[in-house]
Amino acid sequence: MTSILVAVDRRSRQPLYRQIYERVRSRVLRGELRPGELVPSTRELSRELGVSRIPVLNAYEQLLAEGYFESRAGAGTWVSSSLAGGRPATPKPRGERRVSKHAAALPPYQRPVWAENLGPFQVGQPDLHRFPIRTWARLVARYTRNMRVRALQYGDALGLPELREAIAAYARRSRGVRCEAGQVVILSGSQQALDLATRVLLDDGDAAWVEEPGYWLVHHVLKAAGCRASPVPVDAQGLDVAAGEELCRRARAAFVAPSHQYPLGVTMSAARRMQLLAWAQRAGAWIVEDDYDSEYRYDSMPIASLQGMDANGRVIYAGTFSKVMFPSLRLGYLIVPSDLVERFAAMRRAIDLCPPNLTQAVMAEFIAEGHFARHIRRMRPVYASRRRVLVEAVEREFGGSAQLVGDEAGMHVALLLECDDVRLAAAAGRRGIQVSPLSASYTGPPARRGFVLGFGNAAESRIAPAVRLLRNLTAA
């Protein structure tokens, strides 16, 4: 038992047993000790209070007699489960309650509902049923069993050296990122990566280009830092750089997902990439490349990252293990220009010291033993097949009345369709099929409507019926 935080005053004229009794009782009545909670044994409490055991025994006897405590031999003593839980007394907020402007500006937080039955089209969901959970469990158990005291200690703010090496090698070979392990910063995922980049690169009030339509959580990150998101249209080539220069010439950064844009799924063309890199160099601006799901490409070879084309060290590359491994792992990374590493480390330490050892170490072994590459290799045909079933179902049901885009890579496509997508998404939700309306990804008037369809966690047999349901709803 941890302490129950009662104190005795030896100079008081009140007997010790009475002091103990009254203090425990009042803690129970105030709800600080709750029904069912274990209390220390009389031996433990007497030692803790530095008094003999007699007064503690007397106090407990009285608390038991009056029904505040219950006990059973071998099971200890606890606050009576039958007490009508005195549960008052969390402090009452009073007076001026001002929070920061940035906190006040954020949209409301809603508890996520990760039920397992949200239909086949959930966005950002890998197929967790096929994750090699046993292999993972085995590596975790093995690592923990052999863990040394040193592994319990604080680590480097930038992350575990083995994992930084493994990530750098992976990013070089599979993503064409030009980097050394020293440029890798291990974080908890894309979100912390975007936040850290924002805090290192942008001042309060600075503007940054974001894709329109785009990823909602980029907007939250910028708001949380007091920065202004300046939406720049995305067309079939990706972010329209010329439009960006007209709309917001003074942007200090651009947040883009050139490999597989969210939500449209566009792969940014080579010409646009060159244009964006040239703009950044000219403007002294930064590019944050969010490469959140490009491990999976289907018809063509993987596209090298924007970072790999950059000769001037303007690109900060963000990757995550949430999609290829699993979201609750909470591991992602930034690969930053070498001259900025030290500032990223200083900020990272100031806001969150260092990443946890266990998951980093096991992830490094998972990669080193080839499980990571194997899992990607196994999943690629699975996702490719789901995508094919989805494409065929859309062609069958919608024919020429809708257009499917962004199916070259990743785990979602966009179904372009002139309709009231918000209303239809709500209707589909009532029928058990959750789809994201495309227009909700715009900050301004939506240039396109339709649905974002995730297929990462879509059982093949459920795809065609769900597409038919969507078609019936849009036809109604």
Question: What SS3 state is found at 356?
Answer: coil
Q: Whole-angstrom Cα distance, residue 334 to residue 319?
A: 6
Q: Whole-angstrom Cα distance, residue 415 to residue 208?
A: 28
* Site residue total, a copy of itself (CB under 8 A): 137
Q: How far is the CB of 419 from a copy of itself (least distance, A)?
A: 29
The 8-class DSSP code of residue 58 comes to: H
Q: Whole-angstrom Cα distance, residue 43 to residue 54?
A: 10
Under rule CB under 8 A, residue 426 binds a copy of itself:
no
Peptide bond into 231 cis (omega under 30): no
- Selected binder of a copy of itself within 68, 170, 383, 398 (CB under 8 A): 170
Q: How far is the CB of 131 from a copy of itself (least distance, A)?
A: 6
Q: Label residue 98 exposed, middle or buried (CB < 10 Å: 0-12, 13-18, 19+).
A: exposed
Angle at 376 between CA 375 and CA 379, to 5 degrees: 85
The stretch among 64-72, 170-178, 262-270, 446-454 that binds a copy of itself (CB under 8 A) is 170-178
The residues in 431-470 that bind a copy of itself, with binding defined as CB under 8 A, are: none
Q: How far is the CB of 377 from a copy of itself (least distance, A)?
A: 7
Instruction: Give per-residue burial for 160-185: e unless 16+ CB within 10 Å, then b.
Output: bebbbbbbbebbbeebebbbebebbb
The stretch among 13-21, 175-183, 239-247, 408-416 that binds a copy of itself (CB under 8 A) is 175-183
The residues in 109-168 that bind a copy of itself, with binding defined as CB under 8 A, are: 109, 111-112, 114, 116, 128-129, 131, 133, 136-137, 140-141, 144-145, 147, 149-157
Q: How far is the CB of 314 from a copy of itself (least distance, A)?
A: 8
Q: How far is the CB of 224 from a copy of itself (least distance, A)?
A: 4
Nearer to a copy of itself, 201 or 419 (CB): 201
Nearer to a copy of itself, 94 or 430 (CB): 94
Contact 313, 337 (CB under 8 A): yes
Nearer to a copy of itself, 227 or 234 (CB): 227
Under rule CB under 8 A, residue 19 binds a copy of itself:
no
Nearer to a copy of itself, 55 or 155 (CB): 155
Q: How far is the CB of 139 from a copy of itself (least distance, A)?
A: 9
Where does 366-449 show beta strands of DSSP type E? 403-405, 412-416, 436-437
The residues in 219-238 that bind a copy of itself, with binding defined as CB under 8 A, are: 220-221, 223-224, 226
Q: Whole-angstrom Cα distance, residue 379 to residue 462?
A: 18
Under rule CB under 8 A, residue 201 binds a copy of itself:
yes
Q: Whole-angstrom Cα distance, residue 363 to residue 287?
A: 28
The residues in 21-60 that bind a copy of itself, with binding defined as CB under 8 A, are: 27, 31-34, 37, 44, 48-49
The residues in 278-337 that bind a copy of itself, with binding defined as CB under 8 A, are: 281, 284, 295, 300-302, 304, 307, 310-315, 322, 326-330, 337
Nearer to a copy of itself, 70 or 195 (CB): 195
Q: Whole-angstrom Cα distance, residue 245 to residue 232?
A: 9
Nearer to a copy of itself, 199 or 273 (CB): 199
Residue 464 dihedral angles phi and psi, to the nearest 5°: -60, -50
Under rule CB under 8 A, residue 184 binds a copy of itself:
no
Q: Whole-angstrom Cα distance, residue 343 to residue 355?
A: 17
Under rule CB under 8 A, residue 86 binds a copy of itself:
no
Query: CA of 27: how far to CAs of 12, 31, 68, 82, 98, in Å?
Result: 20, 6, 11, 16, 32
Structure tokens at 356: 């946890």
- Selected binder of a copy of itself within 19, 42, 77, 191 (CB under 8 A): 191
Contact 406, 265 (CB under 8 A): yes
The stretch among 65-73, 200-208, 255-263, 396-404 that binds a copy of itself (CB under 8 A) is 200-208
The stretch among 58-66, 90-98, 237-245, 267-275 that binds a copy of itself (CB under 8 A) is 90-98
Under rule CB under 8 A, residue 387 binds a copy of itself:
no
Under rule CB under 8 A, residue 403 binds a copy of itself:
no
Where does 238-302 show beta strands of DSSP type E? 238-239, 253-256, 286-290
Q: How far is the CB of 64 from a copy of itself (least distance, A)?
A: 19
Q: Nearest Cα to 295, choosing from 181, 199, 377?
A: 377
Q: How far is the CB of 56 from a copy of itself (least distance, A)?
A: 13
